[in-house]
């Protein structure tokens, strides 16, 4: 799995999903240390969780309800639960995602 994460993070369980990530499970939510290769496109979808994320390498083009915004290193984003959104990664990108239960 790609991603520039410390060895301790790489010892976490691997996320079973559409992208590469290490998963730290917690009561009330999960933390995902995710990696996306350049050219990754995630089609419109929803989550039943309230999602926050911070970009640690690369950049994210996030589309929410037809509006696009670009997020770079150090930028935080928020996707409310049950909101249609899509993502594009033009560069190799790492991010830390927080998925909170409603």
Quote the pTM value: 0.89
What's the pLDDT at 73?
98
**The pLDDT of residue 18:** 80
pLDDT in tens, 7-20: 998 889 898 888 88
Q: What are the start-end ranges of the H helices in the chain?
A: 7-10
Identify the structural domains of the chain with CATH numbers, from first to last.
1-35 (no CATH), 39-88 (2.60.120.10)
Sheet holding 40-45, edge to edge: 40-45, 85-89, 60-64, 67-71
* Rounded CA Rg of the chain: 13
Distance, in Å, from the CA atom of 60 to the CA atom of 98, rounded to the nearest integer, reads 16
**pLDDT over 80 at 40, yes or no:** yes
Residue 45 has what pLDDT?
A: 95
Chain segment 50-83, per-residue pLDDT in tens: 999 999 999 999 999 889 999 999 999 999 999 9
């Amino acid at each position: 799995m790609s991603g520039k994460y410390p060895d301790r993070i790489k010892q976490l369980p691997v996320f079973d999903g559409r992208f590469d990530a290490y998963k730290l499970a917690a009561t009330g939510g999960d933390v995902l240390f995710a990696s996306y290769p350049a050219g990754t496109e995630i089609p419109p979808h929803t989550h039943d969780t309230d999602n926050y994320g911070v970009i640690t390498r690369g950049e994210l083009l996030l589309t929410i309800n037809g509006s696009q915004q670009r997020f770079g290193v150090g930028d935080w984003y928020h996707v409310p639960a049950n909101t249609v959104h899509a993502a594009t990664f033009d560069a190799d990108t790492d991010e830390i995602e927080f998925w909170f239960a409603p």
